[in-house]
Amino acid sequence: MIILFDLDGTLIDSTDAILESFHHSFSKHKHDKRKDEEIKALIGYPLDIMFENLGIDEEEVWDMVATYKEHYREISTQKTELLKNAREAVLLAKEFATLGIVTTKTARYSKELMEYFDLMKHFEVLIGREDVQNPKPHAEPILKALEKMDVKNREIWMIGDTKLDIIAAKNANVNSIGVLSGYEDLKSLKEFTNVIFNDVLEATIYLQSRKK
C-alpha cells in the first residue's frame, strides 16, 4: 500500500505561521490588513492564488509571495505544531505502507519542518509547490510523487483535509480519505468523498484494517 499525506490540516497545524506571514506581507507592501478568516478560508491553495483572491494585483503577487516566504521560513518551526495523533499515525502507517507527502507548501520548507519534527525519515518522497507546474486539485503533484515510488500492484491512497486533496486524488485515479482536522468541514468534504474520519490516525487505522 502507498499512503500520500497532505501537510497543513492533515499532519501539521501552521495556521499561526501562515496568518502572521500574510499579515507581515500585507504590512510590508503597505496594503490594508485582511481578516484572519478570509485568509484561513483559502489555506490549501497556492500562495499566489491566495494573494490574488485577497485582492492583490497580478503584477504584485510574486513580490508578496517572496516576502511571505522569507518571513514564514524564520518563524515556521516555532509557530507550527504536529496535529494531535499525527506522529502516531505516521509511525503506524510506516509499518504497513510506503509513505509520501503531497503538499502545496514549498517543498524545501516542508522538508525542514518534517525534519524538525523527526518525521521526514519515514517518507520516501515529498512533492511541494516548486516541483510541479499545476498544484492540487490537478493530478500532477500526486502523479509526480508516484513516479518516484514503486506502484506496481499497490493500493494507493491520498489523505487530506480539503476538497483540493480529494479532487486531486480523483484526477490522479487514486483512492482518497478526507479528515476533519483541518480547514474543510464535514458538509463540504461530503460533496467529494464518503470516506471521512476525524483525524489522520483514524484514517490510518482504517487503512491498516484493509490490509488484514
Q: Which residue type does 49 have?
A: I
Count CA atoms closer than 13 A to 26's CA, side-chain side.
Answer: 19
75-77-182 Cα angle (round to 5) = 100
The total of other beta-carbon atoms located within 10 Å of residue 138's CB is 16
Contact 18, 43 (CB under 8 A): yes
Catalytic residue among 6, 13, 161, 165: 6
Tell me 54's DSSP state: T
Q: What is the DSSP string of 20-45?
A: HHHHHHHHHTT-PPPPHHHHHTTBTB
- Please name which of 8, 48, 2 lies closest in space to residue 169, comparing C-alpha atoms: 2
Contact 22, 39 (CB under 8 A): yes
Contact 91, 208 (CB under 8 A): no
Q: Catalytic annotation on 6?
A: yes
Catalytic residue ranges: 6
